[in-house]
Structure 1
Amino acid sequence: MDKSATRYNVQLYIYDLSRGMARSLSPIMLGKQLDGIWHTAIVAYGDEFFFGGEGISSCSPGGTMLGPPDTVVELGETEVSEEIFMDYLSSLGESTYRGDRYRLFEHNCNTFTNEVAQFLTGRPIPSYITDLPSEVLSTPFGQILRPILDSIHIAPPGGNVINGGRNI
């Protein structure tokens, strides 16, 4: 490996969309404890990248209406150049991660950050985040809510859509 290669820090920003309500209401509503309803983003190359109903977006770190993250996880470093990363995101934005492909339970911001984290660092995001949809759906109330929740598209305001947000 080339010792002179430039390395870039990669972080996972974690936001609790429920602002703490999931922790207190989940035992009553779902019969199990959830610590939060997670939205995640990858921070690298000086920007925050995330996926939602608009497609892939970016902003300055903590620059969406969600404000600063509840938690920051250091995912490690990457030698992938910013140019290669932006080409990769552009490719994802035209295919797998177009806005119309967003699904709250199966294909969401956490699916995106997990894939991007593995591309950049070779490591996934924490499983408590990726396991959340199946935890909710494993409950009777989760099954009742599913048709309603499936229609929700989360797109935190404040980001710039990468690839013009084209719906193909």
Structure 2
Amino acid sequence: MDQTDSYPVKLYIYDMSRGMARQLSPLLLGRQLDGIWHTAIVVHGKEFFFVGEGINNCPPGGTPLGEPDSIVPAFSTLYGLSVFSLNVCVCLHLFSLFFLIWVHRVDTYNLFEHNCNTFTNEVAQFLTGKTIPSYITDLPSEVLSTPFGQALRPLLDSIVINPGGNNITGQR
């Protein structure tokens, strides 16, 4: 396939703390965090993400989070819209029956282990063969490695993030 047969895949990165992590993390955690990351994959005109209600989508930048803090356009996929619709939209449903069933069901959402970033990483690998940046995927273990992170874990485990969108997994 030549270059015209590839389609852009963008990584949308949002700082859920709106800059507060950068300011407060040295005091609370003893180390600098640049943000508390929520990520999504944008492909074929839709933003796909995983939240407490399951796998959702919306127009790019269409969540209540507004515009992303950064966009990484360094991905591309060979899946055209029709193949994407068949192999990703439907496959996301099948994904939830196969791979995502144990990682990205409504009842498996967990702020630290099964969150939007693990979903985005898996979808990025599926579509492009590339992973999202490790500073995003390593953030939960970085927070939990601190005494403050361990003390807050019971509270943080009860938090479910839902920035809106259309649920495409038929859950909730």
- TM-score of the superposed pair, with normalisation by structure 1: 0.93
The CA deviation string for residues 77-133 of structure 1, in whole angstroms up to 9 with x for no partner, is 111222211122112334131111101101100000000000011000000000000
Give the Cα separation in 2 of the matches to 1:103 and 1:12. 21
The CA deviation string for residues 130-168 of structure 1, in whole angstroms up to 9 with x for no partner, is 0000000000000000011011111112x00002225xx
Instruction: Give the CA deviation at 1:6.
Output: 3.1
Residue type matched to 2:55 in 1? I
Q: 2:65 is matched with which residue?
A: 66
Q: 1:111 is matched with which residue?
A: 118
Q: 1:162 is matched with which residue?
A: 168
Q: 1:86 is matched with which residue?
A: 89
Unpaired stretches in structure 1, ≥5 consecutive residues = none
Size of the aligned set, in residue pairs, is 164
| Percentage of matched positions with identical amino acids | 64
Root mean square deviation, CA, Å: 1.4
Unpaired stretches in structure 2, ≥5 consecutive residues = none
Give the Cα separation in 1 of the matches to 2:166 and 2:121. 21
Larger displacement relative to structure 2 (19-28 or 76-85) = 76-85
Q: 1:44 is matched with which residue?
A: 43
Residue type matched to 2:32 in 1? Q
CA contact (8 A) 1:66 1:156 kept: yes
CA contact (8 A) 1:8 1:79 kept: yes
- TM-score of the superposed pair, with normalisation by structure 2: 0.91
Matched, 1:142 2:149: yes
Runs of 4+ in structure 1 displaced over 6 angstroms? none
Give the Cα separation in 1 of the matches to 2:66 and 2:41. 15
